[in-house]
Amino acid sequence: MLEERLLLWKFKHGSKDAFRVIYEKYADDLLTLAANLLNDTVGAEDVVQDVFISFVQSVAKFRLRGSLKGYLATCVANRARDYIRGKKRRRIVALSEAEQMTSNVKTPVQLVINSEELQKLNHAMTRLPYEQREAIVLRLHGELKFRQIAELQSVSTKTVLSRYRYGLDKLRLILNGEVRQ
């Protein structure tokens, strides 16, 4: 945490090297977070890039409360929602199937372990209601506390806990074939 604050301080005072360290430290985690939220690796790259651009542009006014990773993870979650909303709008306007296809072709963002089991899980994740998927992904990949997720989702911590538990239960049912595919 103190290391983060030192890096931030340096970056605020003009050190691009400090920013590079911040980027290298968190980029993979944030991409993982975004890709799991969106199930769209191209979109994940865009979201993470937007989050970092927004971060560097506003760093002068930025005051760190809590961890930097937590802050960036929250930004990714917000951007991911915007991205999904934008994507829905684009679809309504007149979307060619080609654009949707690009989300699933081989991209520079790939699963670290591409086993059959994880592919199934990945697919099962897309079948969860977004709030449940978001609660699970922010908790397990963003390492946010339930309280922080509750703030982000504007619901009570209890509701987030329920979403998290229901989400895990549903994933288990899907993977065990108890929910029709």
Partner 1 sequence: MRPADNMEKLIKKLRYKVSAETHDRVLDNVLQALEKKEKQKLSATAPYMAPNIWRIIMKSPITKIAAAAVIIVAVLIGLNQIISSTPAFAEIVRPLLTARTATFKITIGGQGVPSQEFDGMFMEPCRMRQTTPGGGTVIVDLEQGRIVTLIPQAKQAIVLEVTNAPENPGDLNFFQYIRMRILNAQPLDDESVEFLGEQQIDGQLAIGYHVRKPGLDGTIWANSETKMPIRIEVVDEPMVVTMSNIVFDVELKESLFSLDVPDGYNVTTLRRDLSEPTEEDFIESLRIWAENMDGKFPSKMDRSAVNEFVQYRRERMKEEGIEPSIDDVTKLQQTIIDMTHGFPFVEALPAHSDWHYAGRDIKFGDAEKVVFWYRPEGTETYRVIYGDLSVKDVELENLPK
Give 163-172's long-range contacts (Cβ < 8 A, gap of 24+). Answer: 163/129, 163/131, 163/132, 163/135, 164/132, 164/135, 164/136, 164/139, 166/132, 167/128, 167/129, 167/132, 167/133, 167/135, 167/136, 168/136, 170/127, 170/128, 170/132, 171/121, 171/124, 171/125, 171/128, 171/136
Are the C-beta atoms of residues 50 and 80 closer than 8 Å to each other? no
Cβ 140 to partner 1 shortest distance, Å: 5
Nearer to partner 1, 95 or 111 (CB): 111
Size of the site for partner 1 (CB under 8 A): 50
The one among 9, 127, 129, 179 contacting partner 1 by CB under 8 A: 9
Stretch that binds partner 1, among 21-29, 78-86, 95-103, 153-161 (CB under 8 A): 21-29
Q: Which two tokens stand for residue 130?
A: 């977004």
The one among 37, 48, 149, 160 contacting partner 1 by CB under 8 A: 48
**Site residues for partner 1 per CB under 8 A:** 1-3, 5-6, 9-10, 13, 15-16, 19-20, 23-24, 27-28, 31-32, 35-36, 41, 44-45, 48-49, 52-53, 56-57, 108-113, 117-118, 121-122, 125, 136-137, 140-141, 165, 168, 171-172, 175-176
